[in-house]
A and B are shown apart, each in its own frame.
Chain A
Amino acid sequence: MKGAATAGGLSRRSFLVATAGTGLVLAVGDARAETGPEAAGWRANAFVAIGPDGRVTVTVKHLEMGQGVATGLPVLVAEELEVDPAQVVVEFAPADSRRYNNLFWGPSQGTGGSTATANSWEQLRLAGAAAREMLVEAAARVLRVDVGGLVAANGGVVHQPSGRRLSYGELVAVAARLTPPAAPRLKAPSEFRLIGKAGVKRTDSRIKSDGTAQFGGDIRLPGMLTALVARPPVWGARIESYDRKAALGVPGVVAVIPISSGIAVAASSFWAAHKGREALKPRWVEPAERVSTESLRRTWTALLDQPGSPAATRGDADAALGQGTQRLAATYEMPHLAHAPMEPLNCVVRLSPAKCEIWAGCQFQTFDQAMAAKAAGLRPEQVEIHTLLAGGSFGRRANPASDYIVEGVEVAKAVNVPVRLMWTREDDIAGGWYRPMALHGFEASLDERGLPLAWRHRIACQSILAGGPFAGMVKGGVDPVSVEGAANLPYAIPNLKVDLHSPKTPVPVLWWRSVGSSHTAFATECFLDELARAGGKDPLELRRALLADRPRHLGVLELAAAKAGWGDPLPSGRGRGLAVHESFHSFVAQVVEVSIGAKGEIKVDRVVCAVDCGIAVTPDVVRAQMEGGIAFALSAALFGEITLKDGRAEQSNFHDYRCLRMDEMPVVEVHIVPSSAPPTGVGEPGVPPLAPALANAIFAATGKRLRKLPIGDRV
């Protein structure tokens, strides 16, 4: 499909809206065209197309879920292509593991691990530079001059000796016949006019501020049915019986279909499907063993007394624990967490004998394509994915099992019309794929100077990678994402040992914004604070002493501490805490200020954040990701908790899975460390330091050491 593609009357380009001023333009659509000349213009490469009117289209291969890739990635192209961002239209790439793979992941397209900017950094600048060089060469041919006198600027090529100018639109026909350069020249950072500069606006603010942004639930195809699935309330349960007739008796219900995850009800509307699902009254055969948070806590606590699989060893921690002048021990506990993005999961699927079309906020396109193909009985290349904006994800949509996509395909296969598969909020909160619960046990010793001599850290945490397509990354019994942030502890402690237990549970677990660091940072940064207090050291001083050879950790730590006024006196009942953590190759330090009320009420007043993410391509997006990461982490630190009982989750919606609200949002200040290093991610690294900095602040204010999340309203 090319040009103004339509699908069943749905115009993919119906939300092509220009932003004002210097803004880019986001077209919610996707790039259909193959590389090569197009009738309407020139597709320079997989990422850049230029129309005869000079309009530049940039293809974004990553999912926009709020983190700003539809803004930052086009800037990389615009910088090298020498175009005004206002001329750029943004499109989302089709699923294609060859052209649009994540360069850090091999032949797999997907978004995650805060890699979107980092893996695209050279790729998109080269794409822009290649197109620019071809346009300059085209101008040389048209004007019959040497390329030496030609300069690309502002969407055109100028012949400096004569002052003649040709717009890119006038050059596309000639450029289309040229061979792409083997090694286009990239700008030096000193030449950047967009990258790292203030004033670049998000491409999607307008459509997200007037309500026209299109999400999966907004897609309506002719004849489409809406389907909900009754899934087992207890993990591992099997269906015994259900009232098919009662469900089919609900007005609007068209079909009741057993699928691999449960019983689907397909109906003419959401409400009919919902009532039909209620009428099913399914009975389940429950497994004998039913998991509970209490039983996990008991068995995992016992595991902390047993050696686990070694993840990091330095010196002889076991021996050094018996030396030194003080010995400390502590256990930390973090709960299961749901991602709870604002948009409940959904997808639209249209099947034909040789094709499966999917509309969804897909985060793992290549997995989704493969899993959908398997469910549909097609080949992966027969699955066409229209990646839409996602109403948040925080990792939930990056599921290699493609759970909700497979459900959509299975229902569509049965009903022979397009299907919109929806999850309710209750399905989402109680439906698993959680951040795993984690227990962390520590033992440490201090020397006579109050410096840590030995650090023994044992983790019990269900593996995310084991049993899935990434199981090969588990080496020597260690799932690297269970120990990230712990095995690579940055502190210069001479004797260190980190080991891991990976107990299995029937509950499916998944990456949750910042993955392992979402629990390892809390445990390590709180326990380090405990060591500082025990050794009579200021928490900042101890970190400085132990990070002497970690300049990027130190850089963010010093910046955050200075901006927060670390050491300035606070009135009674208030406290400051800090934490620093590296995740996804970015470095973040945060200082949290809390007030404690007369009845122990916790109020987080202020969070000062310093981030070193290499070159901050779009600084305001970096700030937004830190602000958002802090709110997301604070929500979990204060309130976030899925508890299991009798094999099921006890929470079901926002009344019992409480999330941060406006009146609980602190003032957040973000400071970016200037850098010339290649950019690293920002979607996740704002999360890890918040919870430990908060617990450390509460300790500073009250003397109470909190070792279990969530903290709750009061201390």
Chain B
Amino acid sequence: MFSLMVNGERHKVDAQPDTPLLWVLRDQLGMNTVRYGCGQGLCGACSILVDGEPARACQMPVSEINGRRIVTLSGLNDAVSAQLRAAWIELDVPQCGYCQSGQLISAGVLLRRNPNPGDGDIDSAMSGNLCRCGTYQRIRAAIHLAARRLRGGS
């Protein structure tokens, strides 16, 4: 049995110790925003926050999670997340949409650390998140838009 704190709620899960957190979140807790894309930490579709730090849920055995705070996209409701979501919708960023929860997690990490990122900052913060539909240009624009609004611009 492992005890997980996910989005502020405590869950007890029965799983093999080597089970990646990704599959505990998806198969046992039904948290669909955390998506499977590669299983090797290469694509970012399963991006989450662990104790506030970005992480790949597919690379974390559940046995190493005990007691740490897990946050998924649906557990984020701060101003940064709200502005990012609004910008994503306003600029119609998603195409197939499968990678976008991971993209939004990474974008949030960036904006919480750097309220005024340049293109280079966005490139380095976002390059771990693959998008096969090629929405990168709109992601870049949406991050700039959200950052501007968070700084009080329009």
Contacts and interface: CB of A to CB of B under 8 A. Distances in A.
Interface string B71-94: 011100000000001001100111
Interface in A236-273: 251-252, 269-272
Contacts of B40: 425, 653-655
B79 to A, nearest CB: 15
Given A425-B39, A655-B42, A662-B122, A205 B132 contact: no
Interface in A189-248: 201-202, 204-215, 217-218, 220, 226
A659 B132 contact: yes
B43 A269 contact: no
A291 B82 CA distance: 52
A286 to B, nearest CB: 26
B135 interface: yes
Interface stretch (A54-62, A92-100, A629-637): A629-637
Interface string B22-48: 010011101011011111101101000
B57 interface: no
- Which has the most chain A C-beta neighbours within 10 Å: B36, B100, B133, B134? B134
A205 B94 contact: yes
B96 A270 contact: no
Contact of A663 (B37, B39, B123, B133): B123
A210 B27 contact: no
Contacts of B37: 342-344, 425
Contact of B96 (A214, A217, A390): A390
B147 to A, nearest CB: 16
Nearest to B92: A202
B4 interface: no
B100 A209 contact: yes
A87 interface: no
Contact of B35 (A210, A343, A389, A662): A343
B98 to A, nearest CB: 3
A451 to B, nearest CB: 37
Interface residues of B, number: 55
A271 B23 contact: yes
A341 B40 CA distance: 16
A447 interface: no
Interface string B107-135: 00000000000000011101111111111
Q: In terms of DSSP, what is the predominant structure of the interface of chain A?
A: loop
B61 to A, nearest CB: 10
B104 interface: yes
A19 interface: yes
A204 B45 CA distance: 18
A391 interface: yes
B88 A661 contact: no
A628 interface: yes
A49 B141 CA distance: 37
A209 B73 CA distance: 9
Contacts of B130: 342, 654, 659, 661
A424 interface: yes
Given A271-B16, A654-B38, A654-B40, A208 B97 contact: yes
B136 interface: yes
B93 A205 contact: yes
Interface of B: 15-16, 19-20, 23, 26-28, 30, 32-33, 35-40, 42-43, 45, 72-74, 85, 88-89, 92-101, 104, 122-124, 126-140
